[in-house]
Amino acid sequence: MREENEALPIKEFYNPRKSNYEEVYRKSMEEPEKFWKEASKVVEWYRDYDVMLDDSNPPFYKWFKGGKLNVSYNALDRHVKMHRRNKAAYIWVAENGEEKIVTYDGLLRRVNNFARSLIDLGMKKGDRIIIYLPMILEAPVAMLACARIGVVFSFVFAGYGAGALADRIKDSGAKLIVTSDGANRNGKVVELKKIVDEALEETSSVGTVIVVKRTGTSVNMEEGRDIWWHDTVKDGQTHVEPEWMDANDPLYLLYSSGTTGKPKGVLHGNGGYSVWVANTLKWAFDPQEDDRWWCAADIGWVTGHSYIVFAPLILGLTSIMFEGAITYPAPDRMWEIIEKYRVNILYTSPTAIRTLMRYGDRYPKMHDLSTLKTLGTVGEPINPAAWKWYYENVGNSKCPIIDTYWQTETGGCMIAPSLGLGLPPLKPGSGTFPMPGVEPVVLDENGKEVPAGQKGYIAYKRPWPGMLMTLNNDPERFKQVYFEKYPGMYFCADYAMKDQDGYYWLLGRSDEVLNVSGHRLGTIEVEDALISSREVAESAVFGKPDSVKGEVIVAFVVLKDEFVNDREVIAKIRKNIRENLGPIYVPEEIHIVKTLPKTRSGKIMRRVVKAVALNQFPGDISTLENTASVEEVKEAIEEFR
């Protein structure tokens, strides 16, 4: 399946300064007490912990029990006291190109001022609020202000609609919402406040709505409920004493991406989570004091929480924070930002890379990308063709690609090359090895470890500090979803393979498995093969019930621009798969569409394609970005019949 491995030399990015990955990893496995004592010093504790890990009530593990700290103190005050007072915490770039630089001192001031407002509005430790904001500075300010006073926030991505927002308000029991009048997206305005108003019609817990003026869109302000941020938050110098939180007090609640049924309210804590995100950023990316770090995710997703807000601030880094879309106003937006702000480390997703790749090599070539040292990806398996394009055209064949595998539930990276500890030779498409403290295992259906080179389910044999504490309102589901399949282990619901050299290959979700003539095939394998065809940009594959074979494979593909008029294109794609994967993998049907249904975080919603194509109920589509794509899928199927 990953045929391009052979053609690509395995790159040696040996980092002689740091060549102790094996030693560090071994220590984390054999002497965890010592290891975590050291690693936990990445944050400053108000009170040291007594017990590294209380595992007396599995799977409700308590890391760093007895320890007290405050995450906003660690993200801000600590740096202001040291030499980073005037260092930029964020270089914020608006969609229209406007920029703002906020220093650590400036960010602390803003956080204190907003924390004061929250207190004045009656918010106190343990209360829940919703943050529904676009990529503006008020987003990290609000998150950190909550962390400062012990309010648990749930950030709802600003691309969600009213129904999804209402579900999250209800499940979280939020008392207050922070939002904005509107959000800029692709040159248009999304009326966020209006969506909040709609959601609030269905819910009853929210008493206050704080509205940031961002787009100047006219909004309805309900007397006694809605207040403007600029009227409420005084821009003075106020000090709000950090609330010293127990390591296992909750920090935030984040609903995980809706690829299955009802969203899960993943709850992360203060201690373990902050130790985990800061260390994993250091281990995986090795950022230096003066580096400019750009995690190009949206703050509304876990990647943004961990690697735009908490980890980089705890480490005292300078981050780029970008409001807009990477292809607006032109497909070179990302490259333009890298050149203009001399970005050193870029962390983005395979979807973004494939999107930009579709526009061709000339866009990255228009810009000086020579400041880049390291490139990262996250969110889905990266197919070798995209890896190669990223490596050659963006990194100029000199930047290692840090492919980070993790989940909302894991808090931070779990499997990724450790640049900070001595990078291993890279294999395109493999996340390489586990982070220190992570003990993965690839198992068969019955919990038996599968031999090297064989595919199985990935699970973790021991808890790690960044793991979710529970699911909101649903401890039973927490136990059942993650700990029932393999008792005593965390089940990821992903397929993986460990190769002869010990490298991990993540092969997609196990919950979308195909069974063709008794062979179990991963949708990702077929999709990888499809997008490795010269002609194909994106694809979604699923199984259709078949009376003879059990299931047959159906594929929906988006073609690269230059192939849209090629009459032979389907035959070529078929041939490519047959040659690469074998005849059993050749889709029975291949439909060409212009776009595929995606979640707002860019994940293709295979489940929706399948349901629409099979004329079934598509389930929850609240996370769907482009509804027009659904019509296209329908039309393609009708035409076929």
Q: Which residue lies nearer to ligand 6R9 by CB, 180 or 280?
A: 280
The crossing angle, in degrees rounded to 10, of helices 271-285 and 32-39 is 90
Q: Which residue lies nearer to ligand 6R9 by CB, 45 or 285?
A: 285
The secondary structure of the chain in percent helix, strand, coil, rounded to multiples of 5, reads 35, 25, 40
CA gap 104, 114 in Å, rounded: 15
Residue 327 sits in the site that holds ligand 6R9 (CB under 6 A): no
Please choose, from the candidates 231, 234, 179, the residue with its C-alpha nearest in 3D space to the C-alpha of residue 209. 179
Task: State the minimum distance, in angstroms, from the CB of residue 460 to ligand 6R9.
Answer: 12
Backbone dihedral region for residue 445 (phi beyond 0: left; psi -120 to 50: alpha; all else: beta): alpha
Are 149 and 166 in contact by the 8 Å Cβ rule? The answer is no
CB atoms within 10 A of CB 615: 8
* DSSP string over 111-168: HHHHHHHHHHTT--TT-EEEEE--SSTHHHHHHHHHHHHT-EEEE--TT--HHHHHHH
- Residue from 67, 265, 381, 422 touching ligand 6R9 (CB under 6 A): that is 381
- Interface segment toward ligand 6R9; rule CB under 6 A; list 159-167, 187-195, 210-218, 398-406: 398-406
Residue 380 sits in the site that holds ligand 6R9 (CB under 6 A): yes
What spatial distance separates the first Cα and last Cα of the chain, rounded to whole Å? 31
Q: Specify the 3-state DSSP secondary structure of 194.
A: helix
Q: Which residues contact 47 (CB under 8 A, 6 or more apart)?
A: 66, 67, 68, 69, 244
Residue 339 sits in the site that holds ligand 6R9 (CB under 6 A): no
Q: Which residue lies nearer to ligand 6R9 by CB, 159 or 431?
A: 431
CA gap 38, 48 in Å, rounded: 12
Sheet containing 536-546: order of strands: 536-546, 550-559, 589-593
Task: State the minimum distance, in angstroms, from the CB of residue 515 to ligand 6R9.
Answer: 19
- Interface segment toward ligand 6R9; rule CB under 6 A; list 186-194, 268-276, 373-381, 617-625: 373-381
- Residue from 246, 403, 528, 538 touching ligand 6R9 (CB under 6 A): that is 403
Task: State the minimum distance, in angstroms, from the CB of residue 504 to ligand 6R9.
Answer: 9
Residue 129 sits in the site that holds ligand 6R9 (CB under 6 A): no
Residue 256 sits in the site that holds ligand 6R9 (CB under 6 A): yes
CA gap 368, 72 in Å, rounded: 36
Q: Which residue lies nearer to ligand 6R9 by CB, 254 or 569?
A: 254
Task: State the minimum distance, in angstroms, from the CB of residue 411 to ligand 6R9.
Answer: 10
Entry field: residues in the chain: 641
Residue 192 sits in the site that holds ligand 6R9 (CB under 6 A): no
**Subset of 538-597 contacting ligand 6R9 (CB under 6 A):** none
Q: Which residue lies nearer to ligand 6R9 by CB, 106 or 263?
A: 263
Q: Which residue lies nearer to ligand 6R9 by CB, 67 or 400?
A: 400
Residue 404 sits in the site that holds ligand 6R9 (CB under 6 A): yes
Q: Which residue lies nearer to ligand 6R9 by CB, 335 or 406?
A: 406
Q: Which residue lies nearer to ligand 6R9 by CB, 92 or 406?
A: 406
CA gap 195, 182 in Å, rounded: 10
What CA–CA distances, in Å, run from 433 to 379, 400, 402, 491?
17, 15, 11, 18
For residues 539, 545, 551, 553, the Cα torsion angle rounded to the nearest 10 degrees is -20
- Interface segment toward ligand 6R9; rule CB under 6 A; list 7-15, 195-203, 399-407, 453-461: 399-407
Are 263 and 599 in contact by the 8 Å Cβ rule? The answer is no
- Residue from 40, 154, 351, 408 touching ligand 6R9 (CB under 6 A): that is 408
**Subset of 468-527 contacting ligand 6R9 (CB under 6 A):** 492, 494, 506, 509
Task: State the minimum distance, in angstroms, from the CB of residue 524 to ligand 6R9.
Answer: 8
Task: State the minimum distance, in angstroms, from the CB of residue 472 to ligand 6R9.
Answer: 15
- Residue from 376, 431, 465, 543 touching ligand 6R9 (CB under 6 A): that is 431
Task: State the minimum distance, in angstroms, from the CB of residue 406 to ligand 6R9.
Answer: 5
Sheet containing 490-498: order of strands: 440-443, 455-460, 490-498, 504-509
Please choose, from the candidates 531, 637, 600, the residue with its C-alpha nearest in 3D space to the C-alpha of residue 159. 600
- Residue from 405, 433, 490, 503 touching ligand 6R9 (CB under 6 A): that is 405
Q: Which two tokens stand for residue 32?
A: 């965890």
Are 192 and 181 in contact by the 8 Å Cβ rule? The answer is yes
Q: Which residues contact 560 (CB under 8 A, 6 or more apart)?
A: 358, 534, 535, 536, 537
Task: State the minimum distance, in angstroms, from the CB of residue 254 to ligand 6R9.
Answer: 9
- Interface segment toward ligand 6R9; rule CB under 6 A; list 54-62, 166-174, 405-413, 604-612: 405-413
Task: State the minimum distance, in angstroms, from the CB of residue 603 to ligand 6R9.
Answer: 7
Question: How many residues interact with ligand 6R9 (rule CB under 6 A)?
Answer: 19
Task: State the minimum distance, in angstroms, from the CB of residue 497 to ligand 6R9.
Answer: 12
- Residue from 35, 406, 460, 542 touching ligand 6R9 (CB under 6 A): that is 406
Are 566 and 535 in contact by the 8 Å Cβ rule? The answer is yes
Task: State the minimum distance, in angstroms, from the CB of residue 459 to ligand 6R9.
Answer: 12
Task: State the minimum distance, in angstroms, from the CB of residue 641 to ligand 6R9.
Answer: 32
Q: Which two tokens stand for residue 182?
A: 């509107």
Task: State the minimum distance, in angstroms, from the CB of residue 498 to ligand 6R9.
Answer: 14
CA gap 335, 395 in Å, rounded: 11
Residue 303 sits in the site that holds ligand 6R9 (CB under 6 A): yes
DSSP H helices in 8-134: 21-30, 32-39, 71-72, 78-81, 104-120
Task: State the minimum distance, in angstroms, from the CB of residue 395 to ligand 6R9.
Answer: 17
Question: Judging by DSSP bridges, how do beta strands 490-498 and 183-185 pair with one another?
Answer: unpaired
- Interface segment toward ligand 6R9; rule CB under 6 A; list 74-82, 397-405, 461-469, 544-552: 397-405
Site string for ligand 6R9, 198-237 (x = CB under 6 A): ----------------------------------------
CA gap 6, 376 in Å, rounded: 22
Task: State the minimum distance, in angstroms, from the CB of residue 466 to ligand 6R9.
Answer: 12
Residue 379 sits in the site that holds ligand 6R9 (CB under 6 A): yes
Half-sphere exposure of 318 (CA within 13 A, CB side): 20
Task: State the minimum distance, in angstroms, from the CB of residue 552 to ligand 6R9.
Answer: 24
Q: Which residue lies nearer to ligand 6R9 by CB, 291 or 494?
A: 494
Residue type, 599: T
Q: Which residue lies nearer to ligand 6R9 by CB, 4 or 336?
A: 4
| Contact footprint for ligand 6R9 (CB under 6 A) | 256-257, 302-303, 378-381, 403-408, 431, 492, 494, 506, 509
